[in-house]
């Protein structure tokens, strides 16, 4: 895994060079675990991976969250911060005089606003301009994991289509909970969503499964998935 993350950071630095980006800042969202293996919780405390175009990457993280990190010193240095420290100032010191900064698209605005104040001379852009071209091309290991994850939910979809999962007479919420249990039983470590919408509710693609009892002949929309092995 360490070799994989080192390779990804090397490729992202190459893209940074091509696009004239001096520093990449990644906080909550999918980019952070892709490049360092750690998925940050969306807290009011800042977690941010600072990746300079040249030099070592540093993961700035709340000290109370540091035990959750799989430490990979060959990939990034850890900079835990305490409750009386200013994480924005820490990130700004690591960024230094970088002229162009790419920041994660899903970074909380409260942190970006503070960084703009700390680094007023910098030019900012979205990190996806650097990260998306890399993440869009899947390697053999990623493809294999995607197939395993997809196969699990495909089996559940098959059971819905054949009637092995009962619908009529059950509430949307009951079926949704059933789908969630089956997603976990298939090996996913998290249920991301399990939408069940029947009758008129099926016109709402992101309907919250509720107390509506599914009737014979109704359209039933099911949309479900989870996260497995990254």
Q: What is the pLDDT of residues 41-89, one digit of tens each?
A: 999 999 999 999 999 999 999 999 999 999 899 999 999 999 999 999 9
pLDDT at 98: 93
Proportion of the chain above pLDDT 90, given as a percent: 96
pLDDT at 169: 98
Residue 72 sits at φ, ψ, to 5 deg, of -130, 80
* pLDDT of 199 over the 90 cut: yes
Q: Is the dihedral of CA 84, 90, 91, 92 positive or negative?
A: positive
Bridge partners of 194? 224
* Mean predicted confidence (pLDDT) in 196-210: 97
* Calculated CA dihedral for residues 51, 52, 54, 60, nearest 10 degrees: -60
Run of H or E including 141 = helix 140-162
Tokens of 155: 């089996």
pLDDT at 229: 83
Tokens of 218: 């109704």
Tokens of 179: 């789908």
Q: Is the dihedral of CA 114, 115, 119, 124 positive or negative?
A: negative
Band the pLDDT of 114: cuts 50, 70, 90. very high
* Mean predicted confidence (pLDDT) in 12-28: 97
């Amino acid at each position: 895994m360490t070799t994989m993350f080192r390779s990804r950071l090397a490729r992202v630095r190459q893209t940074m060079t091509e696009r004239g980006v001096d520093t990449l800042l990644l906080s909550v969202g999918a980019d952070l675990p892709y490049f360092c293996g750690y998925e940050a919780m969306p807290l009011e405390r800042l977690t941010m991976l600072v990746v300079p175009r040249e030099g070592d990457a540093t993961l700035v993280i709340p000290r109370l969250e540091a035990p959750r990190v799989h430490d990979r010193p060959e990939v990034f240095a850890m900079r835990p911060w305490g409750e009386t420290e200013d994480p924005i100032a820490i990130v700004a010191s690591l960024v230094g005089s970088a002229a162009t900064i790419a920041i994660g698209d899903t970074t909380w605005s409260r942190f970006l606003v503070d960084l703009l104040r700390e680094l007023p001379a910098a030019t900012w852009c979205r990190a996806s301009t650097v990260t998306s071209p890399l993440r869009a091309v899947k390697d053999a290991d990623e493809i294999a994991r995607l197939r395993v994850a997809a196969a699990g939910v495909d089996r559940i979809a098959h059971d819905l289509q054949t009637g092995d999962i009962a619908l009529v007479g059950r509430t949307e919420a009951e079926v949704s909970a059933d789908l969630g249990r089956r997603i976990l039983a298939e090996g996913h470590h998290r249920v991301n969503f399990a939408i069940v919408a029947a009758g008129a509710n099926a016109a709402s693609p992101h309907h919250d499964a509720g107390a509506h009892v599914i009737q014979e002949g109704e359209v039933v929309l099911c949309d479900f998935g989870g996260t497995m092995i990254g």
